[in-house]
Amino acid sequence: MGGAVSAGEDNDELIDNLKEAQYIRTDLVEQAFRAIDRADYYLEEFKENAYKDLAWKHGNIHLSAPCIYSEVMEALDLQPGLSFLNLGSGTGYLSSMVGLILGPFGVNHGVELHSDVTEYAKQKLDVFIRTSDSFDKFDFCEPSFVTGNCLEIAPDCCQYDRVYCGAGVQKEHEEYMKNLLKVGGILVMPLEEKLTKITRIGPSAWETKKILAVSFAPLVQPCRSESGQPRLVQLPPLAVRSLQDLARLAIRGSIKRAMRQEATRGGGLKSTPMFKRRRLRRRRMETIVFLDKEVFASRISNPSDDTSYEDAEEDRREVAERTLREAKPEPPVNFLRQRVLRLPLPDPLKYYLLYYREK
């Protein structure tokens, strides 16, 4: 699946293309996609394909096409504080983007069939938390991953506000999936070759909407254990945050609010722009005129169309700016980190406030 939009040179350009094609339609989803670089979830030798709108698979590791993830994120209608269950959580790329929207008081669980992929996702999550500046720009709901078959979830598990299944669901498992939802919840899954959104509007009432045609590998059917009993999957428990952790969230939140107020008053928080500015250029149009079975190819000229001088000047400016940027790269500034390190606190407490993250 994929190929709906042009490839990008980097993550931002890929998101620009998804926005232009109307796969990304809301600010929350756009911010989450820009905050996490898709290439970070690829193996090193395959990263040149990360910004193409194509699915990628290597062994058990799999990523859906960006256009599919965009439609899924939009259909889930995510909000801070909701609970989310990702069935077939894979690399953790989608779960991490969801976590940026859910915030610190949401619930973010994933079930993955293959243990090696679960370990891969945990490694990628650890790298994101330790090294990505996006972790400090958002209040993050950290995903928790377990290994098992998502068709064998323990019957006494809690229900969720949002559920996504990343494999083709057979018709006989539709009711099973629906029962994972709370009333008012949304389930997105491939059902009968269509990406489908199901909203639970009552204890036994549902609304169904077909989003687009897709092709997903089907869910793997459960294998019975030697005793003949199903291997029940126990989902992570709903954790209660400690008072110490709540204090950390409150302090970081207060610092961020102060920084936003300073920026509003013109306090000078300057950083690299979050969104890339796309360069637009007029193109000359060639006109073919048909006249009495004879064809005359000509260009209908217009004085306002002659922009060759402007284009040349713009090219020169762009080359000069690019040369300057390459000569003096400006790394993004993590203002939150700077503020925390300036606090009159013991170093161990500062590092705790920073989640012991690397610079």
Active site residues: 64
Written in H, E and C, the secondary structure of 68-80 is HHHHHHHHHCCCC
Q: DSSP states of 318-343 as a string? A: HHHHHHHHHHS--PPP-HHHHHHHHS
Rounded Cα distance, 329 and 238, in Å? 44
Name beta bridge partners: 169: 191
Rounded Cα distance, 227 and 234, in Å? 19
Rounded Cα distance, 267 and 263, in Å? 5
Question: Distances in Å between the alpha carbon of 346 and those of 245, 266, 342, 353?
Answer: 17, 31, 11, 11
Rounded Cα distance, 180 and 92, in Å? 20
